[in-house]
Structure 1
Amino acid sequence: MGSHQDSVIEGGKYDGMLGVALPLLALEALKREGVTLPFGVEVVAFGDEEGVRFPTTLVGSKALAGNVTPDQLEAQDAEGISLREALIAFGCTPEDIPATAREPANTLGFLEVHIEQGPILEQRDHAVGIVTALTGIERHKVTLSGKAGHAGTTPMNMRHDALVGAAEMVLAIDSVLQNTDELVGVVGRLDVHPNAVNVIPAQVTFTVELRSPESATRQYGREAVTAALETVAKRRGLTINIENTYSADAVACADWMMTALEQACTQIGQPAERMFSGAGHDGLAMQALTDIGMLFVRCKEGLSHHPDEAITAEDGEAATRVVMAFLQQLPRP
């Protein structure tokens, strides 16, 4: 059981960390009650689930699943520091990562508790929900190149302004997202060069993230976005490069774990409906090792990736009791 301990810039205190602390509380309570489980339990606190610093993600959970690749360790941050170099500076030994991997034959499953990061549970007035699947996600880095020039002396009709082109592209991406069912996404980062007050922008780099539970929908969105960006670039005399930096297909939660969570909810008197996760989680990596399950906890106004993330103590206790009941129903039939 577990979750991640890293956060996004200006993030809250529950996204990730709730799933680390809550299992510890559940195990502590079971110990006080004298319950002995017929299997071992590891509580894990993963790093780099969010992928904020480096153009990669889920590195901690991929290590446990045995899927960290050498190229991931060479990924560089904005300062040109590789993940490998950062790990060494932190006191880690990257060459020991393969030894972290667990054996599939010795692993029953992976359960993650997480705030919902959406408004559905609050609308249903339910403390918890049972996740059926984790969304598919892909990220792209777009580099748009034009030509710098003097902002006062270059005629408007002779400019190749990368920022103006990027602005039109952001609107084009939003149009694709607004008009495609079950597809969401965002342009979350934009860097302008030379970023001077009186110079026509010569280059803009921005990110595009697409999410959908259906691979075909993400493919359609990707192709529509690519076509729109290339059209804008051609019309404005700009060169464009689109690089895929991350891709993960949707992952289904195990039926037996969903059923066990439902039984646990019933046992403690909590209503719980099944629901899809629009966010990615460490289960995307852990499914390569073992069956996965996930329990959502209601969060105030569905707010996440924000300093005002909040849950109630009552909902936290309900989720803890669900985990306690769930553990006592295992191992798998």
Structure 2
Amino acid sequence: MANTSADKPNIRQVARLAGVSHMTVSRVLNNYPHIKESTKRRVLEVIEELDYRPNMAARALATQKSQRIGVLVESAVEFGPTSTLRALEYTARAAGYAVSSIALSDDEISPQEAVDNLTTQGIDALCVVAPRSSSIAALRKISIGIPVLVVKPDRDPTFLTVSLDQQGGTTLAVDHLVSLGHRDILHLAGPLDWLDARARERAFHARAKSWGVRERPIVVGDWTADFAYDFAKGIKELPDYTAVFVANDDMAVGLIHGLADRGIEVPGDLSVVGFDDVPLSAHVLPPLTTVRQNFRALGGAIVDLLRAAVEDREIPRVTRIPAELLVRSSTAAPREAKR
């Protein structure tokens, strides 16, 4: 039997369980400023618990807005983009917005076709997640006519931007290795047409240079464990470098596997640091030291910015969302220091 309106949770039930007025719930849903963070969090938790959905049809009639955000995701299979999209959907849903997404992976659809597909759904704003430089260049040529936010490390003259702190996360990784005594570190980078990979690569070189770490050519990967495994299997003998900073956890796990097959111990012979903190990174052998990114905070910042733009409110000033280093067992002092 279909649910009747009486079966569905309403705003007053949310208010009662959260211990606030229904006006406070409304203000949280509409992202009003000056609401205590603890109050906002409590209201959003109750909304999620009750699976409360504002009456989007009524709101759309009143505001002439569809309450829908369109998302272009460069790849729907990589951990970072997928986690960002999931966090964005969670926050948008709690705020009464729907999300429509399209993946640009494998060149099956062009940016123009993707934008056309989303705009025909009546989206109020567009978000681009984990873009490549080529995708940004294509978007600049498209007249979109709605607020556009790009998740990218640097500010942009055309689009709204927000990002996780790629430079800060990379700095944490390099500083950790240097603190252990490493002065010869290889960087296994992601594909450099991805803006996040380029940001990590630049940050690595800048921080390594500041510490006097040996400069050596980077290895450019493709984000996959298979690439890093094959790279490690190709190592003929124990290399001069004593640590590897890897641009994502998938490649770090593949690297550790390949090194083990070559008889090279981690961290006894080589220390390895990843980036992302994928769920399995704590359970590989050895457990992976890595940089954790706060995707929940990123999703919230994206929705806050786009809602402010759609609703003609002041755009929040968003700084880069900080990263966190998780030290596990894949890093140790360099082998020379142990002799």
Asked if Structure 1 and Structure 2 have the same fold, meaning a TM-score greater than 0.5 normalized by the shorter chain, the answer is no
The TM-score, its normalising length taken from structure 1, stands at: 0.28
The TM-score, its normalising length taken from structure 2, stands at: 0.28
The structure with higher relative contact order (CA 8 Å, sep 6+) is 1
Q: Which has the higher strand share?
A: 1
